[in-house]
């Protein structure tokens, strides 16, 4: 079992909304230390820690903060629009250690010069909106948010906003559009949100988990953070483990731990392990050889996938891969925002074909046509959503194509036999 923990330690207190319990366990000590430093030093410290964004893309957090430019007003946005299937770690943090996120936000706001922060919570988490609001109220009352934070001149307020239930809004540009009351369409970069974000002002968008690890860097030092995990991806990571394992849940492990470590932590696979989907629905589906993969940004990239949000979905031999294909393609079709043509039309056709295959009306030719469609989408989709469909699709067709083909043929045979 893993002995280095941070978020999980606060969660284990069992009193998520008790601000005194949080403070007594050395909560807010990171904020106190950060406020004693100059904002530029805070940014430098985060850069030195090597912390990378935990939302999926893994962009170095310090670098992002450093890149904010200009503006008479700046904003900090916490991305809590956790929509990736099989991912529930942000929910875990917000439910069990909300003050950690607020502390991280206060440090980030101080570093980038923001006076207002927003937490954009996915629409399907209504209870979190309520609990967060009460956490914010206690933090303001205790002087960790609001005017003169911890007796300093630094002022920072946080507001909670509820999303409308779109997956694409997890993308920071689409999220900003939604936050401004517009349709949740991604917009093209540049200009980056760090130049022109919310209401045209420089804005930093960070994931919940990213912000939750910021206090660690100040409470224990950038060196301590950097010493955990792998050189490419330092620190701890929250993994969402689900599917055919004995104890699905959120597990906090150092970056670079293996899939096997997580499988063991979750009580082992149920039945015979067949496949693992890593990084969410937009990630590849690997066969059981993936147990030896290291879970960090570089290693997963090398394995032809992505760490993504750190979701691990285990599948045993009872799973029909034609159905996995169907579920995955349907997800993309339902969540495509519809703005760009290749994604709007492509996801629909892919979902059609996958559904026909899974329901026994497939054609072997569909497999090639699906690959062609994915190639068009990779080459011409406007945002990473449409481009990312190729990862799960190609991994399913490359790794499990034989199974899908034989399922198609078997269904054809059964139909003919019935005549």
Interface ranges with another protein (CB under 8 A): 166, 183, 188, 333-342, 344-349, 352-353, 365, 369, 372-373, 375-376, 378-382
Q: What is the 3-state secondary structure (H, E, C) of the chain?
A: CCCCCCHHHHHCCCCCCCHHHHHHCCCCHHHHHHHCCCHHHHHHHHHHHCCECCCCCCCEHHHHHHCCCCCCCCEEEEEECCCCCCCCHHHHHHHHCHHHHHHHHHHHHHHHCCCEEEEEECCCCHHHHHHHHHHHHHHHHCCCCECCHHHCCCCEEEEEEECCCCCHHHCHHHHHHHHCCCCCCCCCCCCCCCCCCHHHCCEEEEEHHHHHHHHHHHHHCHHHHHHCECCCCECEEEEEEEECECCCEEEEEECCCEHHHHHHHCCCECCCEEEEEECCCCCCEEEHHHHHCECCHHHHHHCCCCCCCCEEEEEECCCCHHHHHHHHHHHHHHHCCCCCHHHHHHHHHHHHHHHHHHCCCCCCHHHHHHHHHHHHHHHHCCCHHHHHCHHHHHHHHHHHHHHHHHHHHHHHHHHHHHC
Least spacing, CB of residue 351 vs another protein, in Å? 9
Least spacing, CB of residue 69 vs another protein, in Å? 18
In the complex with another protein, the residue whose CB is nearer, 61 or 347, is 347
Least spacing, CB of residue 332 vs another protein, in Å? 9
Least spacing, CB of residue 362 vs another protein, in Å? 11
Longest CA span, the chain: 82
Least spacing, CB of residue 225 vs another protein, in Å? 31
Least spacing, CB of residue 341 vs another protein, in Å? 5
Least spacing, CB of residue 336 vs another protein, in Å? 4
In the complex with another protein, the residue whose CB is nearer, 186 or 279, is 186
In the complex with another protein, the residue whose CB is nearer, 320 or 349, is 349
In the complex with another protein, the residue whose CB is nearer, 183 or 415, is 183
In the complex with another protein, the residue whose CB is nearer, 165 or 231, is 165
Least spacing, CB of residue 124 vs another protein, in Å? 15
In the complex with another protein, the residue whose CB is nearer, 22 or 185, is 185
In the complex with another protein, the residue whose CB is nearer, 248 or 362, is 362
In the complex with another protein, the residue whose CB is nearer, 262 or 390, is 390
């Amino acid at each position: 079992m893993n002995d280095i923990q941070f978020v999980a330690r606060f969660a284990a207190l069992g009193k998520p909304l008790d601000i005194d319990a949080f403070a007594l366990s050395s909560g807010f000590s990171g904020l106190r230390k950060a406020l004693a430093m100059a904002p530029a030093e805070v940014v430098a410290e985060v850069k030195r820690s090597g912390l990378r964004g935990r939302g999926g893309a893994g962009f170095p957090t310090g670098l992002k903060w450093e890149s904010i430019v200009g503006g008479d007003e700046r904003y900090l946005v916490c991305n809590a629009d956790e929509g990736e299937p099989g991912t529930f770690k942000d929910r875990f943090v917000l439910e069990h250690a909300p003050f950690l996120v607020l502390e991280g936000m206060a440090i980030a706001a101080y570093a980038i010069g923001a006076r207002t922060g927003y937490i954009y919570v996915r629409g399907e988490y209504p209870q979190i909106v309520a609990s967060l609001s009460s956490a914010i109220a206690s933090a303001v009352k205790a002087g960790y948010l609001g005017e003169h934070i911890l007796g300093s001149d630094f002022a920072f307020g946080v507001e909670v906003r509820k999303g409308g239930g779109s997956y694409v809004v997890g993308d920071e540009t689409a999220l900003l559009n939604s936050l401004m009351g517009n349709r949740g369409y991604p917009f093209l970069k540049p200009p980056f949100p760090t130049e022109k974000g919310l209401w045209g002002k420089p804005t930093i968008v960070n994931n919940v988990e990213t912000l939750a690890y910021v206090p660690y860097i100040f409470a224990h030092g950038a060196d301590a953070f950097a010493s955990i995990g792998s050189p490419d991806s330092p620190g701890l990571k929250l993994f969402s483990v689900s599917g055919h394992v004995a104890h699905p849940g959120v597990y906090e492990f150092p970056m670079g731990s293996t899939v096997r470590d997580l499988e063991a932590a979750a009580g082992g696979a149920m039945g015979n392990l067949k496949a693992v989907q890593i990084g969410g629905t937009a990630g590849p589906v690997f066969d059981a050889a993936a147990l030896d993969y290291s879970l960090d940004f570089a290693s997963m990239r090398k394995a032809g996938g992505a760490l993504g949000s750190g979701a691990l979905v285990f599948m045993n031999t009872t799973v029909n891969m034609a159905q996995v294909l169907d579920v995955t393609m349907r997800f993309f079709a339902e969540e495509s925002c519809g703005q760009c043509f290749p994604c709007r039309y492509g996801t629909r056709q892919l979902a059609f074909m996958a559904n026909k295959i899974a329901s026994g009306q497939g054609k072997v030719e569909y497999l090639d046509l699906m690959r062609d469609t994915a190639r068009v989408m990779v080459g011409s989709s406007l945002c990473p959503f449409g481009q990312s469909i190729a990862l799960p699709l190609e991994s399913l067709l490359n790794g499990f194509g034989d199974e899908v083909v034989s399922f198609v043929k078997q269904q054809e045979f059964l139909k003919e036999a019935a005549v």
